[in-house]
Amino acid sequence: MDTEAQQTERDRSSRPSDSEEISDTEGQEGRSRFALVSRFTEWLPGGRISLTLLVFLVLLLLLNTFVLRPFEIPSGSMESGLRIGDRVLVNKLAYRFGAEPRRGDVVVFDGTGYFGDADYIKRVVGVGGDHVVCCDKEGRIQVNGRSVDESTFLFPGDTPSTVRFDLLVPDGRLFVLGDHRSTSSDSRDHLGSPGGGMVPVDDVIGRADWIVWPAAHWTRLHRPDAYARVPAAAAEGMHG
């Protein structure tokens, strides 16, 4: 009998397999991580409860910074759809990855330097390249030659505007108005200021998508159909 061959077979059978070595390594790493967490929770006042709250706060901060942001309605300029004290969720990803604000969107933007040192919420009426006029023979705002029926969201009793204007929105800018036109300080009030009352798209924080508080006002904010028939700026001549 070949005793050397038998010894070789025994050596092979007694040697741990690669998978066993990997499993053991993963187990050691898992135990190390668990021990690290355990030591941290022992050091942290409140232990695991405090750790859970800390993780929750970090996730909430990341969510608020990059995805959603709550915004409290500070005035009646967007009534009657948005009332003072309502809280909306602002979608901060709405205009990322190549998307741009659209006519009819309700947006929150930083007005520092041209509206005031605060964040504002208004409705987009004109985007870059649009020709916006007030008003047609029936008192309606026109965008690129098309009259817009704003009756579904305009504050009851308000006219589209008592201020007359005829303007071209520069590229990369927005012309914005409040739904409660008689009380709203918006692009119309800054027509003679630097920038002409136009909001830079880069200063838009996001799109208001939901009313989340109070619970009785909970609803999703939809883009109204009023702007759906407005032609693109380059096509104005075909629809005049």
The residues assigned a catalytic role are 77, 122
* Block residue for tokens 């309700």: 106
What number of CA atoms fall less than 13 Å from residue 134's CA on the CB side? 16
What is the distance between the alpha carbons of residues 144 and 227, in angstroms, rounded to a whole number? 11
Looking at residue 49, its amino acid is I
- Least Cα distance to 67 among 163, 228, 209 occurs for 209
3-state secondary structure of 164: coil
30 and 37 in contact (C-beta within 8 Å)? no
